[in-house]
Amino acid sequence: MMKTSKTDFETVTELVTDYFDGLYQADVAKLRRIFHKDAFLKAPGLRRSLEEWLALVASRPIPKEAGESYDFKILAVDLSGDQAMVKVECPLLGNFYIDFLGLLKEDGRWLIVNKMYADNPLIGSEGVIQ
């Protein structure tokens, strides 16, 4: 039986699952593998390099060890050739983030090249409008 290769959609969604796992377990090595080295993370009024963000992930409480629920969700995947934009829900450490992950496929490999995120203060950690 011939092995078929994964589609770009499958590869992107698996990469986003790795992103969720990395956040949940504070696995900096896993996160570093799925981000391009020059990725920048942006939130309203805030800019961080990848290394600055990874240092924060390494120093904060670990959601898995804190007993938080694993409630991450992919809301949308917009795939166009070798670029993708993925919108995700990231309830994390008492916040309810909506992240927009920009990905590019370069040299045959998908990586996150940009992350925009913001906490939605109107939504609690259970995803309920308050």
- The 10s digit of each residue's pLDDT in 22-69 is 999 999 999 999 999 999 999 999 999 999 999 999 999 999 999 999
Closest-CA residue to 100 (of 90, 110, 85, 81) = 85
What pLDDT, on the 0 to 100 scale, is given for residue 49? Answer: 97
The set of residues, in sequence order, having a beta carbon less than 8 Å from that of 77 and lying 6+ positions away, is 9, 12, 13, 16, 84, 85, 86
Query: What phi and psi values does residue 19 have, to the nearest 5 degrees?
Result: -60, -50
Domain ranges of the chain: 8-119
Helix, strand or coil for residue 86? strand
pTM listed for this prediction: 0.88
pLDDT band, very low/low/confident/very high, at 119 (cuts 50, 70, 90): confident
Strand pairing of 46-49 and 95-106? unpaired
Taking the C-alpha atoms of residue 92 and residue 96, their distance in angstroms, rounded to an integer, is 6
How is domain 8-119 classified at the CATH fold level? Answer: Nuclear Transport Factor 2; Chain: A, (3.10.450)
Asked if the model's pLDDT at residue 124 lies above 60, the reply is no
Taking the C-alpha atoms of residue 31 and residue 112, their distance in angstroms, rounded to an integer, is 10
